[in-house]
Amino acid sequence: MILHLTRYVLLIVIASTGITSIAAEKNKKPAPPGDFEKGLSAYEKKDFATALMLWFPLAETGDAQAQFRLGKMYLDQKDKRKDPAEAANWITKSAQQNYVEAQTLLGQMYLKGVGVKRSFRKSADWLLKAARANDPKAQYILAKLYYYGDGVPRSAGKAAYWYTKAAKLDHTGAQNKLALMYLNGDGLKKKNKKGLKWLETAANAGNTRAQINLAKLYLGSDAVKTDHTMAYNWYKKAAELGNAEAQNRLGEMLEQATGTKKDTKQAFDWYQKAAQQDYAASHYNMGRAYVHGYGTKKDIKKAVAAFHKAAEKGHGKAQMDLGVAYYTGRGVAPDSVIAYAWFYVAAASNVKDARKNKNVLYKKLPTEDKKKAVSLATEYKRKYFSKP
């Protein structure tokens, strides 16, 4: 009986102690925010001057997080304080204290020569530190360095190793690259099933490059059965996420009735969306649409303007069509010298009939125009030729 009473009393004491502790926890006031948190709050409100004022003393006393934030402000031109060299100074101090975000950013700065002298070797060194600390962004960039042999000995195997690490940490860019290595047997044993799995993982997570690559597989490959409708659907997903290449390709599929019903009006709309991002092929496709009245009214002047935009970005077929426009005077005042120059650049891109047109036109030019034509052609090639 005494034993039972003792246990009962003990339970009451324990229970009341617990209740007192819970009540004390509820009544306990949260610690006031420190200067770093105050700076973060000011930063989020775009009060960059206050954030700088609060973080600077902390950075000077060796706070790695404050040093990183301060460096980012100088790098990103917050409060009109862009100073890449000062940014590199603070980010280096933070990276030297093993602050992983700083190590990754410093690696990128050395890669591009921002605030520091460009050095692939130093870039790889800093990225390796962050990659070993499991930063997926660092792992992804380091994998690319190994793949191309920049700053490190070229090794497709090590590239695959780091891509795998990052892919497993849900880095969709790494998942896409790893998929391509499996699909192409590049640095890894060719495994279509595994490649397709990684590609679908990245695509379903919204990676537009992976969505485009999946679309290309469905248009014809040994990895999946050809399915134009699936290709169209994946291009559409990427297009709706704003990818210009996918928007242009979707327009072409709508125009050609590939994997979907023919709809030239909708095709033209997608060409316009891509053209707004200055995508060369979409400027060319808009030019064609204006010439033939595909999904829009015929307008030769607008066609020539669109061809110009595409040609100046190195689009060979647009350069050829511009040559024809200037030779015939369709949409522009006829000018054989300019026509020759555009044929010349198109010929360098191996566009069909461009070389023949160039040679035929040159023979027809008056002697005094031949020198002008060659001079202009040389200038156009320097400015507008892009290797295919």
> Which residue from 313, 300, 301 is spatially nearest to 274, judged by alpha carbons?
313
- What are the C-alpha distances in Å from 348 to residues 75, 92, 327, 372? 41, 46, 19, 19
Quick one: tokens of 185? 């047997």
- What are the C-alpha distances in Å from 304 to residues 85, 162, 251? 45, 47, 20
What does the pLDDT look like over 76-126, one tens digit per residue? 876 666 889 999 999 999 999 999 999 999 999 999 999 999 999 999 999
* pLDDT value at 383 more than 60: yes
CA distance 233 to 211: 9
Q: pLDDT band at 9, cuts 50/70/90?
A: very low
* pLDDT value at 337 more than 60: yes
Q: Which pLDDT score, from 0 to 100, does residue 79 have?
A: 60
Structural domains of the chain, ranges and CATH numbers in brackets = 38-97 (no CATH), 291-388 (1.25.40.10)
Quick one: tokens of 75? 């790098």
- What are the C-alpha distances in Å from 267 to residues 288, 294, 316, 318, 346? 12, 9, 22, 19, 26
Instruction: Report the chain's terminal Cα–Cα distance, integer Å.
Output: 96
For helices 172-184 and 192-204, the axis angle rounded to 10 degrees is: 160
Q: Which pLDDT score, from 0 to 100, does residue 388 have?
A: 65
What does the pLDDT look like over 280-315, one tens digit per residue? 999 999 999 999 999 999 999 999 999 999 999 999
* pLDDT value at 14 more than 80: no
Quick one: tokens of 6? 């003792």
> Which residue from 110, 83, 177 is spatially nearest to 139, judged by alpha carbons?
177
CA atoms lying within 13 Å on the CB side of residue 2? 0
- pTM of the entire structure? 0.85
CA distance 313 to 78: 33
Give the residue carrying structure tokens 């015929």.
298
Give the residue carrying structure tokens 């060796």.
62
Q: Please, which residues have CB within 8 angstroms of residue 81's CB and are 6 or more apart in sequence?
A: 48, 52, 73, 74
CA distance 375 to 149: 39
